[in-house]
Chains A and B, each alone.
Chain A
Amino acid sequence: MSVTTAPMPLLKITDLNAWYGESHVLHGIDLELGEGQLITLLGRNGSGRTTTLRAIMGMVDRRTGSISIRGEEFISKPAHRIAPLGRIGYCPEERGIFASLNVEENLLLPPTVGKDGMSLDEIYEMFPNLKEVRKRMGTLLSGGEQQMLAIARILRTGARLLLLDEITEGLAPVIVKALGDALSRLKKSGYTIILVEQNFRFAAPRADRHYVIEHGKVVDRIEADEVDAKMDRLNHYLSV
C-alpha cells in the first residue's frame, strides 16, 4: 500500500518538558517545521521561549519528550553532540560574545557542523561592520556589532537550522533593518529558522507560522495567512 505523506519535518518536537534544577519550566511543547521554513515563538516575558531553544540545545538540567531532527531522536544526546549532528546554530538571547576573544576568534570558535558554511569573506560582505572591528576584543563592540557577530559566527559553521533568540532586542532601528535584510537573505537561501521575537512587526513578514507560548506550553498556532484574521487574538497574547 502506498500513501503520499507530507515530507518529513526537519524538526519535530513532541511533549517537550524541561527543568532548571527543581523548577519545571516547559510543560509539553509541541511544534514542527519543515526544511526552509521560518517559525516564530511568541509569548510574554517568562513564558518559556528561550527555554525551548535551550532545551533543544541540551542547555537545561533535564528534558523529556521527543526532539526529532531529520528523523533522528535527539532527546538523550549529550549537549556537545547536538549542534554537529543536527547541523544547528544557536544564537543566544544574551548574545554570548566571549570577552576574552577578539572578533575573529569569536567568529572562528564554533566548529563546522556541515559543508557549505559561509566563508569569512561572505560573512564580512553580509556584515561589513564586523570586518572593520575584527581585531577588537568581543566586549568592546556595540550592541549591534555583538548581535551581528553572534549571528555571523553560526553562519560560518554550515549550520542549516538556526535558533535565533531576540536578535532585535535593544537595537537601533537602522540595525534592526539590517538584521531584517540579512534574515530575508538567509530564508531565501534555504535556511530553516526558529525566531524568538518580541517585535512582531519584525517577525511577521518573514514567518511561515507562529507559535504562541504561555507558561511553558504552546497555546496557539497561527499560520502566516491567518495572521490578519487573528490579529485580535495575537494582540491579546502579546499584551502585557
Chain B
Amino acid sequence: MLNLILAQAMLGLNNGVFYAMLSLGLAVIFGLLNVVNFAHGALYMTGAFLALILYSYLGVWIGIEDLHINFWAALIIVPILIGALGILIERTMLRWLYNFDPIYSLLLTFGITLVLQGLFVNFFSASGTPYPGQPESLRGVVDLGFMIFPKYRLFAIGFSIVICLAVWFIIERTRIGAMLRAGTENPDLVKAFGINVPLMVTLTFGFGTGLAGLAGVLAAPIYSVGPLMGADLIIIIFAVVVIGGMGSIMGAVVSGFALGLVEGLTKVFYAPAANTVIFFLMVVVLLVRPAGLFGRQS
C-alpha cells in the first residue's frame, strides 16, 4: 500500500511539473500586466510542436533528411522562439488593450489560442504524434526502491524544480526582480523614476511565454504532441493559479507541485475523483481565502 501511495505521488509530482511551470509563467505575467493569458496553454502546445518539428520535420522540409535538431538544443531554441512570439503578440496586439477592462485581453488571448490550435489541427493530426527525440542518456528506468520510474520523468521533475527556484530567485532576490515587483505595485511611479516600464512589460510577457515554451519541450517526450494538449491543461492551470493566489510566484510553484501530488494521491484513495479534486479545492479556497493560499488578502 505504501509503495502504491509513493508511486502515485511520483506520478502526481510529474504532472505537478507542468502545473508549476505553466502557472509560474501565468503568475509572472498576471502580476505585472494584469492580463490573464489564456493563450498560455496554446503556447505550451506550440512549444511541444516546435520541439517535434525541429527533430522530425525541419530536415525534411529544407531537404536535409538527416537533420534532427535534438532535445537539448530544443530546450534552448524553443523557449526563445516562443518568447519571441510572445513579444510579438504583446507588441502588436495586447499592448492596445491595457486601458480597457481586462476581459478584452482575456478574449484576445482566447482568440489566439483558437488560431494556434486551428493551425496545428490543420497541418498535423489532431490526435497527437509521439516525440521521438528523447535523448539517449535519459532513456530507460531507475529503481527508486518503491517503484520503477522512467529516467526522463525524474529528470523533468528535477529540471523544473531548478527552473522554478531560479525564477523565484530572480524575482525575489535580484535588482531586476525588485523592478518587476515595484512595477507590479505602482507602474506609474516606477516609470517616473526613469525605468522603461513598457519595455519591462514586453520582456516580462516574453519571459512568461518562454516558460510555457520550455514546459512544452519538457512535455514532448512524455505526452504525445497534439494540438489540444494545451487546452486540456490550461483549465487546470487556472485552478492552480486561483488556489495559489493570482500573481503570487511562490503560490504558483508550491500549489503547482502540491496539486499534482494531491491529484496523484486521490487516484489511490478514490480514483474517480482524481480529475475533479483540484476544482473542488479551488471552490473551497475561493470560499475560505478568496485571494488564494499565498495571495495578499486585502
Contact = CB atoms under 8 A, between A and B. Distances in A.
Contacts of B182: 98, 100-101, 109
Interface stretch (B68-76, B186-194, B202-210, B262-270): B186-194
Interface of A: 57-59, 79-84, 90, 92, 96, 98-101, 105, 108-111, 113, 157
13 contacts: A57-B192, A59-B191, A79-B192, A80-B195, A90-B189, A90-B193, A98-B182, A100-B182, A101-B178, A108-B175, A109-B178, A111-B193, A111-B194
Interface in B170-224: 175, 178-179, 181-182, 184-186, 188-198
Nearest to B179: A109
The 9 A-B pairs with the shortest beta carbon distances in the complex, nearest first, are A110-B193, A83-B194, A100-B181, A79-B191, A84-B194, A57-B192, A105-B178, A96-B189, A98-B182
B181 A92 contact: no
Contacts of A99: 185
Contacts of B192: 57-59, 79-80, 82-83, 90, 92
A100 B185 contact: yes
A124 to B, nearest CB: 19
Q: DSSP class of B's interface residues: helix, strand, loop or mixed? A: helix
Contact of A108 (B178, B181, B184, B198): B178
Contacts of A113: 194
Q: DSSP class of A's interface residues: helix, strand, loop or mixed? A: loop
B33 to A, nearest CB: 16
B285 to A, nearest CB: 22
Contacts of A80: 191-192, 194-198
B193 A109 contact: yes
Contacts of B196: 80
Nearest to A56: B192
A84 B178 CA distance: 19
Contacts of B181: 98, 100-101
A59 B193 contact: no
Nearest to B189: A96
A98 B185 contact: yes
Contacts of B185: 98-100
Contacts of A109: 178-179, 182, 190, 193
Of listed B178, B189, B194, B195, residue having the most chain A CB within 10 A: B194
Nearest to B185: A98
A32 B194 CA distance: 23
B194 A98 contact: no
B43 to A, nearest CB: 27
A92 B189 contact: yes
A81 B184 contact: no
A105 B189 CA distance: 15
